């Protein structure tokens, strides 16, 4: 792992896709261009983004998930046994059609814009999920590199659509077994290949804490949670720990947020981390990457034996936080965490769904710039 300065600046993952890449994604989906041509366009976009992050002052570089359609559906291309189903197709197969339709109505996402990676056969890791992306990044930057992956709980929830999955995996727990081994294999490969940071995204955890029994999420996955929230959280901790336990040579992080699919803050979940704390503290991950710029996340909590990836800018607003505001947020965190326990990041990605980014590149850059200015100022005082 490369040495990082105090208050390392990084992103949570997704970044707005440039127009040429969006176009290539569309062409690829329609079969008008081949994979190699798409990769050429994506390589250029990722290289540009790496340069941009270096210029802005990011210490831990990501590829912005630019090659992915969204943060988890890309798995359909990498795994056997997974098929992307549109919401219309889902509506055809689910038994609870009324409930499902009600779910769609509460969403602030055009239904056609999402496809769910659904498990329709035995899960086999046909090709690595992000290993090639890591190799590409390492060829194009000397800085430390972060790789993001959907977490095992999110994936199990998303992929298990009882009506079509049950024939292969009778229960969600059965599916989880193969999801865990597939992800563990990937994390081990990323560590061996020199990733500095691997982040597992588990946004649905907040739904268990803040909307138990409600299916107000951007994923059809919500249909698969019928158990007691405490039992589900316990299940999630077990899965994550089985993926990462004993993995060395790489910093592991888990990202949790309250939804990042809408700019309408009232449709997103609200509540502080207290109900999640006993579970998050038990994760075998060095760092929790958490949103704190939005007031919906409540007061800062001290998580024992954890580094904090402190969310200091809101990816869904046009107003750019000032470096003074960010510095004050870091100073508040310094009352609970040592300087070398704090990483700086936006609350979540800037471009969750490729067709529907949460912000423009210009604003995203300005926000990162503000973070890196604040980091530079504070490094002087704390080194
Ligand atoms: Zn997030």
pLDDT in tens, 160-209: 988 899 999 999 999 999 999 999 999 999 999 999 999 999 988 888 87
Per cent of the chain over pLDDT 70 is 92
Write down the mean pLDDT value for the chain. 90
Handedness of CA 329, 198, 49, 42 (dihedral sign): negative
Q: Report the separation in Å between the CA atom of 316 and the middle of ligand 1, taken as the mean of its atom positions.
A: 11
**Å from CA of 239 to ligand 1 middle:** 19
Q: What are 201-244's pLDDT values in tens digits?
A: 998 888 887 775 554 444 544 455 556 888 999 999 999 999 99
Question: What per-residue confidence (pLDDT) applies to 262?
Answer: 77
Q: How far is the CA of 326 from the centre of ligand 1 (A)?
A: 19
Residue bearing tokens 């999630």: 236
Ligand 1 (single-atom ion) residues, CB below 5 Å: 203, 257, 260, 348
Count Cβ neighbours within 10 Å for each residue of 178-216 and write b for 16 or more, e otherwise: bbbebbbebbbbbbebebbbbbbbbbbbbbbbbbeeebe
Whole-angstrom distance, CA of residue 197 vs CA of residue 11: 12
To the nearest whole percent, how much of the chain has pLDDT over 90? 70
How close is the Cα of 226 to the center of ligand 1, in Å?
Answer: 23
Ligand 1 centroid distance, CA of 295 (Å) = 15
Gap between the terminal Cα atoms of the chain: 20
**Alpha helix (H) ranges present in 30-143?**
35-56, 75-78, 87-93, 97-106, 131-140
Higher-scoring residue by pLDDT: 260, 132: 132
Judge contact between 60 and 143, C-beta under 8 A.
Answer: yes
- Inter-residue contact 297 to 291 (CB < 8 Å): yes
Q: Rounded distance, CA 74 to CA 67, Å?
A: 8
Distance 256 CA to ligand 1 centre (A): 6
Mean pLDDT of 263-289: 90
Beta pairing partners, 310? 290, 344
> Can you tell me the distance from the alpha carbon of 71 to that of 200, in angstroms, rounded to the nearest whole number?
11
The pair of three-digit structure tokens given for residue 290, joined into one six-digit string: 């958490």
């Amino acid at each position: 792992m490369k040495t990082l300065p105090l208050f390392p600046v990084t992103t949570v993952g997704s970044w707005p896709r440039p127009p040429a890449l969006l176009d290539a994604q569309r062409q690829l989906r329609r079969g008008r261009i081949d994979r190699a041509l798409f990769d050429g366009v994506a390589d250029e976009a990722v290289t540009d983004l790496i340069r941009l992050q270096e210029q802005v002052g990011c210490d831990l570089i990501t590829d912005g998930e630019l090659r992915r359609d969204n943060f988890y559906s890309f798995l359909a291309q990498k795994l056997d046994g997974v098929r992307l189903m549109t919401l219309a197709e889902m509506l055809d197969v689910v038994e609870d059609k009324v409930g499902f339709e009600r779910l769609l109505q509460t969403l602030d996402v055009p239904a056609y814009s999402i496809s769910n990676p659904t498990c329709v056969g035995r899960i086999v890791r046909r090709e690595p999920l992000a290993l090639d992306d890591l190799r590409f990044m390492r060829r194009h930057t000397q800085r430390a590199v972060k790789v993001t992956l959907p977490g095992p709980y999110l994936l199990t929830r998303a992929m298990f659509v009882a009506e079509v999955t049950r024939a292969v995996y009778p229960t969600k727990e059965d599916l989880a077994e193969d999801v865990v081994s597939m992800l563990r294999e990937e994390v081990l490969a990323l560590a061996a290949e020199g990733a500095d940071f691997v982040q597992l995204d588990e946004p649905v955890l907040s739904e268990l804490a803040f909307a138990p029994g409600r299916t107000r999420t951007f994923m059809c996955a919500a249909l698969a949670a019928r158990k007691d929230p405490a039992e589900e959280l316990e299940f999630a901790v077990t899965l994550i720990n089985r993926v990462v336990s004993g993995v060395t040579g790489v910093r592991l992080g888990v990202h949790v947020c309250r939804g990042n699919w809408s700019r309408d803050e009232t449709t997103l979940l609200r509540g502080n981390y207290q109900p999640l704390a006993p579970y998050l503290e038990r994760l075998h991950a060095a760092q929790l990457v958490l949103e704190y710029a939005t007031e919906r996340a409540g007061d800062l909590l001290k998580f024992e034996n954890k580094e904090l990836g402190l969310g200091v800018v809101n990816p869904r607003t046009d107003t750019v936080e000032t470096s003074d505001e960010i510095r004050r947020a870091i100073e508040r965190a310094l009352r609970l965490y040592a300087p070398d326990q704090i990483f700086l990041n936006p609350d979540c990605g800037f471009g969750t769904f490729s067709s529907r980014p949460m912000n423009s590149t210009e604003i995203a850059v300005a926000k990162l710039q503000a973070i890196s200015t604040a980091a530079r100022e504070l490094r002087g005082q704390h080194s």
